């Protein structure tokens, strides 16, 4: 008898001709996610992916696989040659092991007969196995509507028995939907924004802006930590680290103080766009959400957006902060995000930022600066950091 992990993927199955491409990407991403645990080779059979557990650490494999985008659910199953007596034995074992974990009063046997050559029908098999459980284990009753446990029996080329489902995040395998450049600050929002777009199969590259020496090494380490956490889901990626202090100094000198934030935000977008175009990246991602702060009023968003032509994805745009925080906790970036290190935006942050900036005024202020030259200057100085799994 073998123990196997069965991985189901939903949406990929809908992709028609591209199905193979999506499946291969998913298998590659799963293989990569478990690569340091041994010579583990996931394989495909009948629109599911399998991993033979052998001597590997089952819980760790599950923990890794559930974070691979595209994975809808994971089951740990026993697999063996089809034989009704053996199926009965394994079902009894399965019920007992679930009863050892929690209080079980009701159960249901659910049979799926994929191999229609097998002489017994699904309902018949379920009924027989149900009777066997009732006969051998005291204190249980059948409940087909709302049972405490469901024991699944599958008759395929082999028999499979499993009773637990672990949910994945769904989505699409990273690398199947182009590339986007994530503006990653040290805050709560932008890692969540990157995670959400990554979940749709988009490969992430990141860009972070700092104001060294006004922002510290520790602030930079914090962002690298956040990026590493993202890479658990999104795989290895590159992060550009850009010092925008020269730009902030110029703005500080030549433009109204109240426009500091909005002008910096437009520079960030323009710098990101320049790099994206240069690296063949199709879109930008930000963690902006309507009304969250002065720089994210609808007027400010309009002015920020007008800085670039490239598509900008803002997956958090209509989300409440509490929901963003909950998601940050779920993906394990929250605790790092709330570490209190200074951010480049706080260094020069105005006492009274404009909340209703007018594009024409902002453009007038920008005209006082050598926008292209400044962008070239900071890009020439940027640092490239490779973000790999922790």
Report the DSSP pairing between strands 73-80 and 2-8: antiparallel
| From the list ligand ATP, Mg ion, none, partner contacted by residue 7 (C-beta under 5 to 8 A by kind) | none
148 binds ligand ATP (CB under 6 A): no
- Omega into 213 within 30° of 0, i.e. cis? yes
Instruction: Provide the minimum distance between the beta carbon of 352 and Mg ion in the complex, in angstroms, as a whole number.
Output: 19
Read off φ and ψ for residue 45, nearest 5 degrees: -150, 125
Cβ-in-10-Å burial (0-12, 13-18, 19+) of 280 comes to exposed
- Residue 225 CA neighbour count, 13 Å, CB half: 17
The residue nearest ligand ATP at its CB is 187
The nearer residue to Mg ion, 27 or 262, going by C-beta atoms, is: 262
Distance from C-alpha of 348 to C-alpha of 328, rounded to nearest angstrom: 27
Q: Which of 5, 1, 2 is nearest to 58 (CA)?
A: 5
- Would you say 132 or 192 has its CB closer to ligand ATP? 192
Of 54-62, 83-91, 229-237, 281-289: span binding ligand ATP (CB under 6 A): 281-289
Does residue 287 belong to the site contacting ligand ATP (CB under 6 A)? Answer: yes
Helix (H, G, I), strand (E, B) or coil at 277: helix
Is 343 among the residues that bind ligand ATP (CB under 6 A)?
yes
Q: Name the residue among 81, 83, 88, 84 with its Cα closest to residue 2.
A: 81
Task: Considering the complex, state which of residue 4 and residue 182 has its C-beta at the smaller distance from ligand ATP.
Answer: 182
Distance CA 54, CA 136 (A): 30
209 makes contact with ligand ATP (CB under 6 A): yes
Interacting positions 258-277 with ligand ATP (CB under 6 A): 268
Q: Which of ligand ATP, Mg ion, none sits in contact with 287, Cβ below 5 to 8 A by type?
A: ligand ATP
Window 216-255: contact mask with ligand ATP (x via CB under 6 A): ----------------------------------------
Residue 273 C-beta: closest distance to ligand ATP, Å: 13
- 285 forms beta bridges with 182, 313
Among 344, 354, 374, 387, binds ligand ATP (CB under 6 A): 344
Q: Which of 171, 187, 201, 235 binds ligand ATP (CB under 6 A)?
A: 187
List the single partner that 344 binds among ligand ATP, Mg ion, none, CB under 5 to 8 Å by kind.
Answer: ligand ATP
Q: Which residues bind Mg ion (CB under 5 A)?
A: 185, 187
Residues 6+ apart with CB under 8 A from 228: 387, 388, 389, 390
Task: Determine which residue in the list 296, 297, 333, 336 makes contact with ligand ATP, applying CB under 6 A.
Answer: 296
| Number of amino acids touching ligand ATP (CB under 6 A) | 21
Interaction with ligand ATP in 188-207: which residues (CB under 6 A)? 188-190, 207
Angle at 303 between CA 299 and CA 305, to 5 degrees: 115
Cβ distance to ligand ATP smaller for residue 21 or 214: 214
Minimum CB separation of residue 188 from ligand ATP in Å reads 4
State the binding partner of 11 from ligand ATP, Mg ion, none, CB within 5 to 8 A by kind. none
Q: Which one of Mg ion, ligand ATP, none is in contact with 91 (Cβ closer than 5 to 8 A by kind)?
A: none
Nearer to ligand ATP, 14 or 384 (CB): 384
The residues facing 315 across adjacent strands are: none
Is residue 248 exposed (0-12), middle (13-18) or buried (19+ Cβ within 10 Å)?
Answer: buried
First to last CA, the chain: 34
Which residues are 153's β-sheet partners?
A: 111, 161
What is the SS3 assignment for 153? strand
CB of 343 to Mg ion, least distance (A): 5
Of 99-107, 128-136, 148-156, 284-292, which segment contacts ligand ATP by CB under 6 A?
Answer: 284-292
Choose between 123 and 306: whose C-beta lies nearer to ligand ATP. 306
d(CA 287, CA 195): 10
Tell me how far CA of residue 378 lies from CA of 7, 207, 254, 362, in angstroms.
46, 13, 18, 21
Q: Which residues bind ligand ATP (CB under 6 A)?
A: 183-185, 187-190, 207-209, 268, 286-288, 292-293, 295-296, 343-345
């Amino acid at each position: 008898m073998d123990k196997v992990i069965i991985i189901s993927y939903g949406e990929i199955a809908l992709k028609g001709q591209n199905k193979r491409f999506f499946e291969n990407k998913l298998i590659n991403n799963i293989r990569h996610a478990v690569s340091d645990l041994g010579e583990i080779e996931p394989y495909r059979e009948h629109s599911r992916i399998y991993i033979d557990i052998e001597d590997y650490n089952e819980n760790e494999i599950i923990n890794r696989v559930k974070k691979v985008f595209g994975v809808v659910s994971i089951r740990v199953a026993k697999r063996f040659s089809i034989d009704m007596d053996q199926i009965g034995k394994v079902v009894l074992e399965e019920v007992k092991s679930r009863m050892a974990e929690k209080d079980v009063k009701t159960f249901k046997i659910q049979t799926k007969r994929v191999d229609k050559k097998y002489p017994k029908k699904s309902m018949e098999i379920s009924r027989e196995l149900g009777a066997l459980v009732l006969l051998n284990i005291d204190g249980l009753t059948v409940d087909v509507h709302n049972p405490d446990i469901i024991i699944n029996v599958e008759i395929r080329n082999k028999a499979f028995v499993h009773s637990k489902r672990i949910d994945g995040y769904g989505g699409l395998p990273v690398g199947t939907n182009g590339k986007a450049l994530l503006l990653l600050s040290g805050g709560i929002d932008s890692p969540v924004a990157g995670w959400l777009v990554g979940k749709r199969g988009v490969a992430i590259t990141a860009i972070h802006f700092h104001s060294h020496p006004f922002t510290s090494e520790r602030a930079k380490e914090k962002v690298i930590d956040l990026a590493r956490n993202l890479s658990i889901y999104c795989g290895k990626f590159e992060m550009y680290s850009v010092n925008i202090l020269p730009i902030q100094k110029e703005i500080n000198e030549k433009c109204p103080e109240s426009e500091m934030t909005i002008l910096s935000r437009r520079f960030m977008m323009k710098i990101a766009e320049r790099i994206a175009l240069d690296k063949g990246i199709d879109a930008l991602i930000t963690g902006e959400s309507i009304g969250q702060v002065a720089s994210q009023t609808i007027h400010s968003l309009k002015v920020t957006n007008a800085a670039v032509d490239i598509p900008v994805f803002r997956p958090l745009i209509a989300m409440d902060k509490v929901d963003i925080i909950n998601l940050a906790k779920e993906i394990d970036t929250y605790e790092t995000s709330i570490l209190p290190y200074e951010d480049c935006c706080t260094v020069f942050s105005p006492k009274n930022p404009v909340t209703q900036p007018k594009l024409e005024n902002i453009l007038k202020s920008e005209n006082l600066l050598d926008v292209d030259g400044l962008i070239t200057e900071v890009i020439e100085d940027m640092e490239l950091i490779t973000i790999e799994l922790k």
